[in-house]
Amino acid sequence: MNDMQVPQFLPGEKPPKKPLKIRWQIALGFGVFILIIAVLLWVFQIAFLGAFYRTIKTSEVKNTAELIERILEDSGLDTQVRNLSNERSINIVVTDEMGTQYSAWKHSQRDCLLETMTRNDLRVLFNEVNLEGGNRLSVYSSPFAYEDGVRPDVILYVDIVRTQSGFNRMLLIESEITPVDATVETLQVQLVCVTVIMVLLGGILALFIARRISRPVAAVNEAAKELARGNYNIRFAESGSKEVSELAQTLNYAAEELSKVEGLRRELLANVSHDLRTPLTMIRGYGEVMRDLPGENTPENVQIIIDETERLTNLVNDLLDLSRLEAGVMALDVTRFNLTESIRAILHRYDKLAGYSFPFLAEEDVFVTADELKISQVVYNLVNNAITYAGEDKTVALEQTVANGKVRVSVTDTGEGIPEEKLRDIWERYYKVDREHKRAQVGTGLGLSIVKHILELHGGAYGVVSQLGEGSTFWFELPVSPALGQGNDPPK
Ligand code: ADP
């Protein structure tokens, strides 16, 4: 674990305003929501209540007038007017143009204006309203108070109509607008209660929800800080909401990968330093012996020094190749070439390897369009591995088959094989199945990773089939390049 500081903001940048914690953001959201609801309730229930009530009453009065207009000539007019008066708590008077009353029903518990109007008053009113166009709506404070002294506001609607038989009738409808102030007071008390309950409930709910949401996020955040400090073994709790648990899953995956990479990096350091040190020790040792003991200055000893420098060169080349392949800066030098011939040439170089046999089965010569040098490196790496891990029979069998426009090259050995669970990992760089094994010391753990990168650059498939104790077959595929003209000569 290193001592990396988790940066809060970029260096040189002004520290940004500290954002609120999720918990407070949610609580704030709830607070604003409750405030809006409370304000809306107060505005509608208290400020506009009088106006609402008046509008409703006015339309009720007009609607009653329309109903009565339709039944003016019915014999049951009086009964119906009484019913309407009772149902709607209004006072109704029906007269003719001379002020003669046909029906008059009062609902108010107190004196009302309509009662006090004489025949003459009604006749005058008829004329006035008739001149005004046939109807009049007035709102005024009633001159008659209840016993407690409260004087209600009253709507008086006067409507002049002509019956089907051609008689003039005047409808007077009086409706009380019950003192709104009293109602408002009741509502105010209620609203205070509702608001207090809302604030309390909202607060509790907001805190509860905020805790539920913020707790897993805070946990993930804490774990992520640990991860940033270099603790790759940290695991994220996959709890909470869907998003948070997905985030935790992703971070867990990232942490696992980071931990793998970190492990591989450490191994690389160990491997590379070990791999560099071994040949260097040999070179130095042999050099010193040859310097100090003239008799040891033999071609064999010189050869050992040359071999060891070659090992070093190979290692450094492998490392360079891989870092270039991984950085994606390695360009392919693509030509059309005879793959079969290329493989034969490679195998030819192993002729001198005592005791090993390299049978190569190929029905025809196949051309591919690819980077010849890199494909040769693939074959080399596979054959080298097969030799390293070959079985008792010291046979490395190669086969070339063609199917569906693709050529498949496979390299088979009869060695120890690879455990199934390791088959995926061997393509990772610096990976060695058996670190303790003597033979594993031979390689760098880079060979198959280079093979993988080269084949991926070519868009070629690759893979391995292995049976523990029986051997492994590594294979790769490339598209066959169609024949050019008559001969199959590669282009210059
Ligand atoms: P190395 O340089 O160690 O061979 P590679 O990347 O070529 O590195 O191979 C990675 C690991 O895969 C090897 O260390 C070895 O454990 C395993 N491996 C590769 N080829 C074979 C094979 N033909 N038989 C058994 N194991 C193999």
Q: What is the pLDDT of residue 2?
A: 45
Q: Give the range among 13-17, 308-312, 451-455 with minimum mean pLDDT.
A: 13-17
Q: What pTM was estimated for this model as a whole?
A: 0.49
- Residue 423 near residue 466, CB atoms below 8 Å: yes
Tell me the torsion sign for CA atoms 426, 428, 433, 436. Answer: positive
For the stretch 300-309, contacts whose Cβ atoms lie closer than 8 Å and that sit 24 or more positions apart, written own/partner, are 308/279, 308/280, 308/282, 308/283, 309/279, 309/283
Which residue's alpha carbon is at the smallest distance from atom 8 of ligand 1?
Answer: 445
Question: Given pLDDT bands bounded at 50, 70 and 90, which one contains residue 100?
Answer: confident
64 with 88: CB under 8 angstroms?
yes
Whole-number pLDDT of residue 403 = 93
Q: What is the pLDDT of residue 64?
A: 92
Query: Quick check: CB of 444 below 6 Å from ligand 1?
Result: yes
Question: What is the atom index within ligand 1 of the atom nearest the CA of 427?
Answer: 6
Residue 209 scores a pLDDT above 90: no
State how far the Cα of 203 lies from the Cα of 164, in Å rounded to an integer.
66
Task: State mean pLDDT over 267-292.
Answer: 83
Q: State percent of the chain over pLDDT 70.
A: 91
For the cut 90, the answer to whether the pLDDT of residue 231 exceeds it is: no
Confidence of residue 3 (pLDDT cuts 50, 70, 90): very low
Contact between 247 and 226 under an 8 Å Cβ cutoff? The reply is no
| Least reliable range by pLDDT among 115-119, 224-228, 371-375 | 115-119
Atom of ligand 1 nearest to the CA of 432: 14
- Average pLDDT over the chain reads 84
Cβ of 448 below 6 Å from ligand 1: yes
Model confidence band, residue 440 (pLDDT cutoffs 50, 70, 90): very low
Report how far ligand 1's centroid is from the alpha carbon of 353 (Å): 20
Confirm if 481 and 367 have CB atoms less than 8 A apart: yes
pLDDT bucket at 14, cuts 50 / 70 / 90: low
pLDDT at 488: 47
State the closest ligand 1 atom to the C-alpha of 446, by its place in the atom list counted from 1: 6
Q: 256 CA distance to ligand 1 centroid (A)? A: 23
How far apart are the CA of 408 and the centre of ligand 1, in A? 20
Q: Establish whether residue 315 lines the binding site of ligand 1, counting it when its CB lies within 6 angstroms of any ligand atom.
A: no
Mutate to test the pocket of ligand 1, among 264, 272, 381, 418 (most ligand atoms within 8 A of CB): 418
Query: Environment class of residue 68 by beta-carbon count within 10 Å: exposed (0-12), middle (13-18) or buried (19+)?
Result: buried
- Ligand 1 centroid – CA 448 distance (Å): 7
Secondary structure letter of residue 107 according to DSSP: -
Q: CB of 465 closer than 6 A to ligand 1?
A: no
Q: So what's the pLDDT on residue 402?
A: 95
Q: Is the CB of 386 under 6 A from ligand 1?
A: yes
| Residue 171 scores a pLDDT above 70 | yes
What is the residue with the minimal CA distance to atom 25 of ligand 1? 417
Question: What are the pLDDT digits (tens) for 174-200?
Answer: 988 876 667 777 887 888 898 889 888
Instruction: State residue 53's pLDDT score.
Output: 82
- Average pLDDT of the residues in 221-230: 89
Ligand 1 contact via 432 beta carbon (within 6 Å):
yes
pLDDT the model gives residue 76: 87
Q: Residues 462-483: pLDDT tens digits? A: 999 999 889 999 999 999 998 7
Predicted pLDDT at 1: 40
- Predicted pLDDT of residue 11: 56
- The pLDDT tens digits of the residues spanning 56-94 come to 889 999 999 999 988 888 888 889 989 998 888 888 999
Work out the average pLDDT over 210-231.
87
Give the per-residue pLDDT at 485: 58
pLDDT tens profile 339-379:
999 999 999 888 777 788 999 999 999 999 999 989 998 99
Distance 387 CA to ligand 1 centre (A): 10
Query: What pLDDT, in 10s, does the model give residues 368-412?
Result: 999 998 999 899 999 999 998 888 888 999 999 999 999 999 999
433 lines ligand 1 (CB under 6 A): yes
Would you state the structure tokens that stand for residue 273, as one six-digit string? 């330093």
